[in-house]
A and B are shown apart, each in its own frame.
Chain A
Amino acid sequence: MFVALRDIRFAKGRFALMGVVVTLITTLVVFLYGLTGGLGRDASSAVDELPVTDIVFGAPAGAAAEVSFSSSTISAAQAAAWARTPGVGSAEPLGVAMTRAAGATAAGSVSLFGGSADLLPPLLSGSAPRDGQVAVSRSVADTYGVGPGGTLGLGTEKVTVSGITATRSYGHAATVWTTLATWQRISGQRQPTVLAVRRSGADLGAADAARGTRTVARGDALVGIDGYQAEHLSLQMIQVFLFAVSALVTGAFFTVWTVQRKPDVAVLKAIGASSGYLVRDALAQALAVLGGGALLGGAIGAGGGAVAASAVPFAVGPATVAVPVAVMVLLGLAGSALAIARITSVDPLTALGANR
């Protein structure tokens, strides 16, 4: 990088500008990444972290089952048939509903899950709920000012808090867990919403066909949460556009830069620099600008995200920072490589004589 480094130092302003652009785009992408993760978690963690492999969706008689928590319902016959299906370790009914909660300090929406105790998220304190009791997510305990032994109003009922679980949420509302019976009473629904299935290898397609249900892997069930898909796709689209913009911007920058450098490149070739040497030199230069900008942007994004996490759902982790930084660098390198490839076609002859 003999010439590349000195070029950066000499044309500080231009390279700094480019570095700042990369930094800003990376910051934005890291933010979006964290936000996508955070919002996704907020919309789906109660389902996504269920200790099961598959979710069975049903429909009222006559209708076709689709992957949708808001329209799914499971009859007693379906539940019983699923529990007997070979290759299915357990098929537990799970009720999913939204309701209104009123605690000592606040009132608002919560998601209410009703099911057996082995579907319960890890307990942080207290015990699993029995009929008439609920275990609340830690965030519910904090927001509504309730703890084990306290009372929480859910809909028109009053229930006792038996324990506090790790925070889960569904449809951007923190989750409260109870038994299926209490869920039925509070939600006013007779039948559970879905079955939570632990399968051991078997193909469940035939079972689905026989029972008029629709079974998907747990991760694929998330699209059945209202609004989840639209939210996720729009955020991802913005990310993709940002990545594309950054590749184009770096490509454009290095195109202009390479064209400007042509006379220098011709001289270097004339005094014996191989195309390989010059391309490596230029790529190292691009890598320095991209790497510097992207790392700085990653740091700002992660730091900003950590601060913002108290106000907005934001998931900061090594992956949420490393992935966008790496993608930025790789796409930027791809964009600049296309520009830098022009170096190979520069004719050293143009360095000679007065015709330049």
Chain B
Amino acid sequence: MTVLALDSVRLTYPDGDRRLTALDAVSLDVAAGELLAVAGPSGSGKSSLLAVAATLSRPDSGQVVVAGRDTTRLSDKERTALRREHIGIVFQQSNLLGSLTALEQLLVVEHLRGGPVRAARERAGALLDSVGLDAAKRARRPHQLSGGERQRVNIARALFGRPAVLLVDEPTSALDHERGAQIVDLLARVTAEHGTATVMVTHDRALMARADRLLDMTDGRLAVVPTPAVRS
């Protein structure tokens, strides 16, 4: 079942008195439980692709359908609500909130949804366990965690709202190779377990082996990589 669909998406940025084309006729379908990797050189438009899928950027033209809704027709407020309900984002820098403990990084998602925060504690703890964060570290703030631990919390936060779509921007760029591999393993596992439609952007070709599908981005255009990786 397709959960995320981009159709002929075009995105430009102002560039002096001309416009720079960041995404050019990009079309894409991602099904529930599928891990799609997007690779490509720096500046090719990978983050722009995620921004459009995340409803953080409005494309100039084309459609972006998330969970059955064409997001290009929604107001800012509706897009915010859509992100809250259906989209999980794993940022490149583990963008955790400085004043919150690891556990609270997850609980704030529940608070944003107006849910009972106290009742969510157990589920948050279990999710942190499942991404491999020591129980002893749940009460730590971001500056007391390692880069890999922060990235695990980041993933757990993105998953906590049970999103249909999980968008991941270079999750391993701040990590060494081994930790990076662990994180990608984790993403492959949660994609399968939670049935999310996951799009992962990465520079690191070695990590793409875990993806179900690999696309290549060049100058704002997507191309299928001839030898698709096979999930192990």
Contacts and interface: CB of A to CB of B under 8 A. Distances in A.
Given A10-B141, A264-B98, A353-B47, A272 B112 contact: yes
Nearest to A354: B92
A10 B142 CA distance: 12
Contacts of A348: 56
A352 B57 CA distance: 11
Given A272-B81, A272-B84, A353 B97 contact: no
Contact of B99 (A11, A267, A270, A277): A11
Nearest to A281: B111
Interface residues of B, number: 38
B108 A352 contact: no
Nearest to A277: B112
A270 B93 CA distance: 14
A352 B91 contact: yes
A271 B112 contact: yes
Nearest to B48: A353
Given A3-B100, A273-B112, A277-B112, A352 B80 contact: no
Interface in A328-354: 348-349, 351-354
A268 to B, nearest CB: 7
B47 A2 contact: no
Contacts of A274: 77, 80-81
Interface string A270-305: 111110010000000000000000000000000000
Given A2-B111, A10-B141, A271-B109, A354 B93 contact: yes
Contact of B89 (A6, A7, A271): A271
A277 B77 CA distance: 11
B32 interface: no
Contact of B84 (A9, A11, A267, A271): A271
Contacts of B112: 268, 271-273, 277
A7 B108 CA distance: 13
Interface of A: 2-3, 6-7, 9-11, 263-264, 267-274, 277, 348-349, 351-354, 356
Given A351-B95, A353-B92, 14 more contacts: A6-B99, A9-B99, A267-B95, A268-B97, A270-B89, A271-B108, A272-B87, A273-B80, A273-B112, A274-B80, A351-B89, A352-B54, A354-B170, A356-B93
Interface of B: 47, 50-51, 54, 56-57, 77, 80-81, 83-85, 87, 89, 91-93, 95-100, 104, 107-109, 111-113, 117, 141, 157-158, 161, 169-170, 173
